[in-house]
Amino acid sequence: MTETKGITRKAALLSSAATLTAGLILGAAPFALAQQQGDNPDQAEEEEIEQIVVTGSRIVRPELTSPSPLTVVGAEDFQVTGTINTEALLNQLPQVIPGVTQFSNNPGGGVATVDLRGLGSVRTLVLVNGRRVVPSDPLGFVDLNNIPAPLIKRVETITGGASAVYGSDAISGVVNFILKDDFEGAEINAMYRVTSRGDSAVKTASLTVGGNFADGRG
């Protein structure tokens, strides 16, 4: 009987020791995790991620969540393609239908327009720095020749229809011209083009001068 009680007491002691060991192990794991996080406070801080914001929309949103197709043409594309004006560069985009009004005085009047998806230039809204441009004709289209090409920073083209945001004049899309508002110094551009036959020569020249004042506010 005494031997049985000794065995029972020994088993109880072993069980208590095992329970205490398990409790120490479980209690040490959160402590070790907290100690690791405390040793590296920089890792706990959230990293700031920069987002690209589309300026060609009244509703500012990240570029990756834009509901409409967006095409951006930068100023360097003018130099790479060798285009002489804005209309010639935009006409190379697949969603733009080239017009003939620039080379016609009747009825075009020699104006340069942009026509998205072939729905007509009056159904394509033209913006400058996100703002509407005064139409160059009673019909409502804008002459792109009035926008100085050397001051263009980039051109954002939104297709897929934007009338829900901009109105009925943006049925085919929106073309937003972003100009250089912080240009400093002077820049001279000159270009001469001629065909292989030696005819239809085109000469262009431009002078851009700019500077900031009032601590960059002007």
From CA 41, how far away is CA 48, in angstroms rounded? 16
What is the reported pLDDT for 139? 75
- Cα dihedral 195/196/197/201 (nearest 10): 20
Does domain 67-181 fall under CATH 2.170.130.10? My reply is yes
* Digit-coded pLDDT (tens) for 2-56: 444 444 444 544 455 445 444 444 444 444 444 555 555 555 566 676 666 555 5
- Give the start-to-end residue ranges of the domains of the chain: 67-181
Please check the confidence at residue 64 and state whether its pLDDT lies above 60.
Answer: no
Does this model's pTM top 0.75? My answer is no
* Digit-coded pLDDT (tens) for 131-167: 888 887 777 788 888 888 888 888 888 887 777 777 7
Q: Which long-range contacts (CB under 8 A, 24 or more apart) does 107-114 make?
A: 109/137, 111/136, 111/137, 111/141, 111/143, 111/144, 111/145, 112/85, 112/86, 112/87, 112/143, 112/144, 112/145, 113/87, 113/141, 113/142, 113/143, 113/144, 114/87, 114/90, 114/144, 114/175
